[in-house]
Amino acid sequence: MSRRIKRMNPKPRSRDERNDSRPFKARTAKKAGPRPGGKPGTKPPRFAGERAERRPPKAAAQERPAPEKPVEALLPTKVQTVTVTADENNMRVDRFLEARFPGLSFSHIQRVVRKGELRVDGKRVDSKDRLEEGQSVRIPPLKLDAPKAVGELSEAAQKTLKALKEMTIYEDDDVLVLNKPFGLAVQGGSGTTRHIDQMLEVMRDSKGQKPRLVHRIDKDTSGCLLIAKTRFAASHLTGAFRSRSARKVYWALVPGLPKPKQGRISTFLAKEESEDDTIMRIAQHGDEGASHAVTYYAVVETAGNKLTWVSLKPVTGRTHQLRAHMEHIGHPIVGDPKYFNIENWQLPGGLQNRLHLLARRIVIPHPRGGVIDATAPLPPHMQQSWNLLGLDASRFDPIENAPEE
């Protein structure tokens, strides 16, 4: 496998291969526009907006729209036709049915969609297709499961709710940001019995709706995880991720010193599966299943020449993107069980052999106006490493000035 990293070069290139030898700050000074309070009509800085822990989105203090009327989960005994509302715009078909009819089982939803009994504007759809405001949805007779009584939580559920509250970095009526700990999966899978999605069951409201995941991070990655508490918020937040309006910053510890100290990694990634494992490999344009992936990185601080604290900004959101990209340039993340393959490399004494990758910060438009800006602290094993190596977590992070493409 050849290693390829785009060094900064002023020569014009295609969008996918573009790079620049100027520092991030110099490259973005003109594009960023004035700070808040500057001339109207100019683009604000990337990380405009107050930190979530300092000030909630402005909309939290503004007048909110009238609350939605509860959706009655009546048993449809005959075919009915409903219209997609503004709040349901861009919602997946299966989520639409789940929201309209709490208690409808997942298997029943899949069955009526698969058989073509549910139609959108007279056409068959897939459960993952997205709806648009004003569309007409034909709903066949449905069989609803008995709704769970909303009452006092069991002792186990109370413990789960307490655990979620302890993880909470930011919360309002629409949004929840969790500081996900190392080793806790976001979703279920083979051999996974406890995960965030399952834990959110204890937060179901009186209409049977539970908070929804709008993005994911790996099981062994710590840090910011964004949750939508309402279907209105879910629609807006997933749209922000698709349009790349969400900005994410990660911190990692890697061996050696990446050169140059600031750079752009642009490759294609494809999934490679074996009997024992699944990883992302560097692929070529046109390879089956290959997707373009772009990451900016910047050196923040070094511990001699042996270890380096790097800050990472993914432009795209591919599986294992940061882990595969750092391995690709010869600096895999410390403690990575899938991508760290440097022979005869010894972990310095006192450092734990755990993935040193933190979803440090997320900045995203709030569904009702303003900006969500949340930051997660170093997890215990990374904090221990920072202390042992003498790294200062309060240092300026140069990745904030990285481009957005």
Q: Give per-residue pLDDT as tens, 109-121.
A: 888 999 999 999 9
**How much is the pLDDT for 242?**
86
The 8 Å CB, 24+ separation contacts for 317-321 are 317/215, 317/241, 318/269, 318/280, 318/291, 318/293, 319/269, 319/271, 319/280, 320/218, 320/269, 320/279, 320/280, 321/269, 321/280, 321/293, 321/295
Q: What is the pTM of this model?
A: 0.69
Q: Other C-beta atoms within 10 Å of 392: how many?
A: 9
Query: In whole angstroms, what is the distance from residue 295 CA to residue 293 CA?
Result: 7
Query: In whole angstroms, what is the distance from residue 395 CA to residue 378 CA?
Result: 13
Residue 4 has pLDDT above 60, yes or no: no
Contact 339, 279 (CB under 8 A): yes
- Range scoring the smallest mean pLDDT among 79-93, 319-333, 373-387: 79-93
Query: In whole angstroms, what is the distance from residue 241 CA to residue 239 CA?
Result: 5
**How much is the pLDDT for 225?**
97
The per-residue pLDDT for range 177-209, each reduced to its tens digit, is 999 999 999 987 777 788 999 999 899 877 777
- Range scoring the smallest mean pLDDT among 9-18, 196-205, 224-233: 9-18
Query: In whole angstroms, what is the distance from residue 111 CA to residue 252 CA?
Result: 44
Query: In whole angstroms, what is the distance from residue 285 CA to residue 210 CA?
Result: 40
The tokens describing 100, both together, are 């309209």
Query: In whole angstroms, what is the distance from residue 298 CA to residue 397 CA?
Result: 8
**Of residues 262 and 72, which shows the higher confidence score?**
262
Sheet architecture: strand order including 136-139: 80-83, 136-139, 119-120, 123-124
Delineate the domains of the chain, giving CATH numbers in brackets.
1-62+149-405 (3.30.2350.10), 80-139 (3.10.290.10)
**Of residues 106 and 94, which shows the higher confidence score?**
94
**How much is the pLDDT for 381?**
98
The tokens describing 145, both together, are 């499961």
**How much is the pLDDT for 77?**
58
- Range scoring the smallest mean pLDDT among 24-33, 72-81, 191-200, 338-347: 24-33
**How much is the pLDDT for 102?**
65
**How much is the pLDDT for 396?**
94
**How much is the pLDDT for 305?**
83
Q: Which of 257, 255, 315 is nearest to 19 (CA)?
A: 315
Helix ranges restricted to H, 81-121: 93-100, 106-114
Q: What is the mean pLDDT of residues 384-399?
A: 95
**DSSP three-state, residue 180:** strand
- Range scoring the smallest mean pLDDT among 72-76, 189-193, 325-329: 72-76
**Of residues 70 and 291, which shows the higher confidence score?**
291
DSSP labels, 244-312:
T--EEEEEEEEES--SSSEEEEEEEEEEEE-SS-EEEEEE-TT-TT-EEEEEEEEEEEEETTTEEEEEE
Query: In whole angstroms, what is the distance from residue 101 CA to residue 55 CA?
Result: 36
Query: In whole angstroms, what is the distance from residue 183 CA to residue 219 CA?
Result: 5
The per-residue pLDDT for range 279-305, each reduced to its tens digit, is 999 999 999 989 999 999 999 999 988
Residue 145 has pLDDT above 70, yes or no: no
Query: In whole angstroms, what is the distance from residue 45 CA to residue 375 CA?
Result: 17
Catalytically annotated residues? 218
Residue 46 has pLDDT above 60, yes or no: no
Where does the pLDDT of residue 61 fall: very low under 50, low under 70, confident under 90, or very high at 90 and above?
very low
- Range scoring the smallest mean pLDDT among 23-32, 59-68, 240-249, 324-333: 59-68
Contact 359, 250 (CB under 8 A): yes
Contact 249, 398 (CB under 8 A): no
Query: In whole angstroms, what is the distance from residue 259 CA to residue 164 CA?
Result: 40
Contact 99, 231 (CB under 8 A): yes
**How much is the pLDDT for 65?**
46
**How much is the pLDDT for 187?**
87
Q: What are phi and psi of 185, to 5 degrees?
A: -70, 150
The tokens describing 370, both together, are 């303003």
Q: Which of 362, 122, 101, 335 is nearest to 221 (CA)?
A: 335
Contact 271, 338 (CB under 8 A): no
